[in-house]
Amino acid sequence: MKAPASSTKVVSRRDFLKTGAAGSASLVIGFCWGSRSLLNATSDAAKDFEPNAYIEIHSNGDIRLIAARSEMGQGVRTSMTMILAEELDADWLKIKVEQAVATSELKYGDMTTGGSESVRSSWDPLRKAGAAARQMLITAAAETWNVPVGECTALGNSTIRHRISCRTLSYGELVAKAATLPVPKDVPLKDAKDYRIIGTAKPRVDGRPIVIGEAHYGIDTKVPGMLYAVVARPPVFGGRVKKFDAEKAQAVPGVKKVVEVAAVEMPPLFGEERPANSGHQHYLWGGVAVVADSTWQAIAGRKALSIDWDPGAGAEESSEKQRAACAEMVKGSGKELRKIGDPAKAFDGATKKIEAEYELPFVAHTTMEPPNCTAYVRDGKCEVWAPTQNSGGMATALASALGIPASAITIHITLLGGGFGRRLNIDYGVEAALISKAAGAPVKVIWTREDDVRHDFYRPMSHHRLRAGLDAQNQIAAWMHHIAAPTTDGVYVGGDLPDVGGTEVAGTGLPGGVVLNYLLEFSFLHTRVPRGYWRGVDPTWNNFVVQSFIDEIAAATGKDPLELRRELIATKAKPEAGSGDQPPVDVARLRHVLDLAAEKSSWGTPLPKGRGRGVAAIAGWGTYLTYVAEVTVANDGGVKVDRVVCAIDCGQVINPDMVKAQVEGGLVFGLTAALFDEITIEGGQTQQSNFNNYPMMRINDMPRVEVHIVPSHESPGGCGEPPVPSIAPAVANAIFAATGKRLRRLPFQTGELAKA
Amino acid sequence: MDTISITVNGKAQSVEVTPDTPLLWVLRDTLGLTGTKFGCGMALCGACTVHVDGEATRSCTTRISAVAGRNITTIEGLSTDGHHLVQVAWLDQQVAQCGYCQVGMIMTTAALLAKNPKPSDADIDDALGGHICRCGTYQRIRAAVHMVACNCQTVEAGPGTPIKINLDPCDKPGAKR
């Protein structure tokens, strides 16, 4: 996912921490994390220290961590608890993580949850804050006992002990005194070998409410006087309401009001980083909302609406036209994004030439909790309850759409029933606020699944032309990759060619820096179909293509696919991650996960007829991952993924069980798209609507997944996205191994595999 | 609007809604029982599963008029203390990620195990194949179902591992307190 905030920024300001008193007898430590502030205000170093996260230790021993990262299943509340408990030497069961409320006061800094960076960006500040608090509690104990600080030890259970007299005091007993002490600077952090919580499998701190039905998602919001709404949105992207007749809808029992939702041009999602002329726009395309006493009445009211739409020029669009346009574009040359050596000359002079084209469709997020938002706009203020990954962006957009100052906006971030990047978009929040304002009441806007599938911000479709030239020794002398695609962020209404690169070309990286002559080109597809960040983002296209094409070269040269990968990164290799957001690639770590996956999967041992094994690897988000997939291909072409072995090096692991869960889940996300998912456009409209025509992987499709984690004390890497991209190429390569047939289009057109 | 009587989690309820209202929205909007989730509205994903007279039923496509007088159990009434064996197994196996679909999974599993205490993998596929988990927790779901069926203990990733404390003189036997 686009990393909207710098992921490794270490807070270095002199007054990094400060204490405060929260009522009586509590130790409160404010600290800073994240980078960009909410609502685009800069955190001016000259200003007073403004903490954006807090630890509170109370006299009864309870510890609260108030922080800003949305929980969407990735277990971030548990990870943050573990990191804090480690350095604070606290009883980790006494720590409660509370979701910060997004307000304009910049209290919680950048609250964006995406880019696989919640742990990455919390890691340093949280440890430092915990260590400082522990040191203050130790000092408080030493002063109480009138003994040297060096004789006092934190036991790891929220207790300090004097090692000479064996007296103990609990954190709760010490907070009043500790709160009067200055915050120490540069307290040394623990050595990794001394970790007792970090690196162990801990259960989720928030697991129980889920299994008893008390977990509170956005869709479960209820506020006094709340009404329910659904919205009829323009079926054609870019369309508008021409006129509508609400008479029949008004007559439906329970329907209170029918209101038109204005079309709104929204600000960029993550503040103002893109140049103003970049041409990327986010629109709320408006519609007609039916507001009622219950969800069902609103749905019934919407069915009774009669709306005359102006489809606009978008009605001309179709997937077939888009595919044909992309196929045509890659025949020529595109905008040169990266060039090493003289690829054209090296290709022309090659002994052997290999060419292939690959295609991927638009895909939707389909979070299990559909988009929804509850809003209450009154007296020039706006209060919102939203399952969002991007409260900062939503606040900015709300202020702009409602014409009120940001200081009048409060966003309560609920639990998220899945995020996957969909909830980085803020359309559903702005829409709910506009409806609440028009209805003069708090309104919960619920999207049906059909609304969700047809009005998503899709992962872009793409078409790729790959060309490799091999020399007489079968070494890759030239590698050329031409991508034709729309860009990722919203829609593009600018000049001929947008500013490409941030979230379109990551994952192309492996050959760049490995191959002596390299070319990456991009051709832009104009479309009104909205695009967004989909778990794994651009590597989900590019890794499929690059890791498949490496296999094609292996097949053409008679090399073992895994061996060829080892060769490619063995010598002189300086692979590029492919985008500025991605950290540089450490070849040794990539090599290690290849070797580990090979070993654990018994790579190279024979499989029965009809079965095959395929490998694919990725380096991204500070993490290294290799999959080996085993598939069975039936005579009718049906593909069953039987087993997947994963080797992952994500640096220092906080909770190995959650790493495994993220791999299992990320793999399902990627495999679902590889096997089933395709959003197609006809007449400018999305043709799919629900899980009957946009199917998902189910339990009977689930392969046996084995996850092997490389022990490491490197900085933590991301875990949400790295498991997504490489499963499609691993399976494509396994299908080739099983059948000799190369599938170059997602979702897999398995009909091509059927035996006559 | 009709007045319809149903029994929800053992409690007789009378609701005033149009008879075509799906049970799901009566539970959520009228009775405030939001543990039952909306996922698709077409009985395609299983998030809305409740028990009607003990049968796992998709509440999003079940009209309220069709369940008048029937006994409905939701996640809120599955157990009195939240310790139904299926709920315990779900926690033990750390199944949930976002958790949104899990209530439906748990309700279907409870109904399955009530009839078939030792389901095979194929039985599990049959019963839970109608459900969707977008976080991809299927491997753990299967493990949790088997765990209840065989009454096994934790395989891995169970509740917190014991905390090791460096032994200092105070921890040694006979140290003064």
Given A75, A418, A698, which is nearest B129 (Cβ)?
A698
Per-residue pLDDT at A15? 37
Burial state string for A611-640 with b = 16 or more CB within 10 A and e = fewer than 16: bbbbbbbbbbbbbbbbbbbbbbbeeebebe
Distance CA A396, CA A28 (A): 30
Q: Does A371 score more than 60 pLDDT? A: yes
Q: What percent of chain A has pLDDT over 70?
A: 88
Three-state DSSP state, A120: helix
Chain B hits for A201, Cβ within 8 Å: 156-158, 161
Given A203, A300, A690, which is nearest B94 (Cβ)?
A203
Write the DSSP string, A253-313: TTEEEEEEEPPEEEPPTTSS-S-GGG-EEEEE--EEEEEESSHHHHHHHHHT-EEEEE--G
Distance CA A269, CA A262 (A): 19
B140–A661 C-beta distance less than 8 A: yes
Minimum distance, in Å, between the CA of residue A367 and any CA atom of chain B: 7
Over residues B98-113, mean pLDDT = 98
Q: B90 at the A interface (CB within 8 A)? A: yes
Over residues A41-60, mean pLDDT = 60
Given B82, B134, B169, which is nearest A368 (Cβ)?
B134
- DSSP letter (8 states) at residue A241: E
B134–A165 C-beta distance less than 8 A: no
Distance CA A65, CA A86 (A): 14
Q: Which residues pair with A512 in a beta bridge?
A: A515
Distance CA A460, CA A486 (A): 6
More confident residue, A90 or B169: A90
Contact A28, A56 (CB under 8 A): yes
Over residues A436-463, mean pLDDT = 98
B106–A211 C-beta distance less than 8 A: yes
Confidence of residue A278 (pLDDT cuts 50, 70, 90): low
Q: B146 at the A interface (CB within 8 A)? A: no
Q: Which of A151, A81, A111, A33 is nearest to A655 (CA)?
A: A81
Contact A82, A92 (CB under 8 A): yes
Distance CA A78, CA A85 (A): 10
Given A92, A203, A294, which is nearest B91 (Cβ)?
A203
Instruction: List domains and CATH numbers for chain A.
Output: 18-205 (3.30.365.10), 218-314+371-446 (3.30.365.10), 319-363+458-753 (3.30.365.10)
Given B34, B133, B176, which is nearest A220 (Cβ)?
B34
Q: Does A272 score more than 80 pLDDT? A: no
Q: In sequence order, which ranges of A403-478 are alpha helices (DSSP H)?
A: 427-439, 449-454
A294–B40 C-beta distance less than 8 A: no
Q: Per the omega criterion (within 30 degrees of 0), is the bond before A711 cis?
A: no
| Count of C-beta atoms within a 10 Å radius of residue B167 | 8
Distance CA A662, CA A420 (A): 12
Confidence of residue A399 (pLDDT cuts 50, 70, 90): very high
CA distances from A321 to A144, A325, A583, A688, B19 (A): 77, 6, 37, 18, 46
Q: Hey, what amino acid is at A472?
A: A
Q: Does B158 score more than 90 pLDDT? A: no
Per-residue pLDDT at A276? 55
Per-residue pLDDT at B29? 97
Confidence of residue B93 (pLDDT cuts 50, 70, 90): very high
**What count of CB pairs under 8 Å joins A to B?**
216
Contact A678, A750 (CB under 8 A): no
Q: In sequence order, which ranges of chain B are alpha helices (DSSP H)?
A: 23-25, 85-92, 102-115, 121-128, 138-150
Per-residue pLDDT at A40? 23
Q: What pLDDT digit, counting tens, does each position of A429-447 carry?
A: 999 999 999 999 999 999 9
Confidence of residue A275 (pLDDT cuts 50, 70, 90): low
B contact residues 102-121, partner A, Cβ 8 Å cutoff: 102-103, 106
Contact A489, A531 (CB under 8 A): yes
Confidence of residue A269 (pLDDT cuts 50, 70, 90): confident
Minimum distance, in Å, between the CA of residue A150 and any CA atom of chain B: 14
Given A157, A203, A700, which is nearest B160 (Cβ)?
A203
Distance CA A216, CA A638 (A): 40
Minimum distance, in Å, between the CA of residue A93 and any CA atom of chain B: 10
Q: A300 at the B interface (CB within 8 A)? A: yes
Q: Does A106 score more than 70 pLDDT? A: no
Three-state DSSP state, A574: coil
Rg (CA), chain A: 27
Q: Which of A237, A260, A239 is nearest to A309 (CA)?
A: A239
Distance CA A446, CA A191 (A): 49
Three-state DSSP state, B59: coil
Chain B hits for A705, Cβ within 8 Å: 139
Minimum distance, in Å, between the CA of residue B129 and any CA atom of chain A: 6
- DSSP letter (8 states) at residue A58: E
- DSSP letter (8 states) at residue B28: I
Q: Tell me whether residue A380 is exposed, middle or buried, using C-beta atoms within 10 angstroms of its C-beta: 0 to 12, 13 to 18, 19 or more.
A: exposed
Chain B hits for A699, Cβ within 8 Å: 124-125, 128-129, 131, 138, 141-142
A163–B135 C-beta distance less than 8 A: no
Q: What pLDDT digit, counting tens, does each position of A675-706 carry?
A: 999 999 999 999 999 999 999 999 999 999 99
Instruction: List domains and CATH numbers for chain B.
Output: 2-77 (3.10.20.30), 85-150 (1.10.150.120)
Q: Does A584 score more than 80 pLDDT? A: no
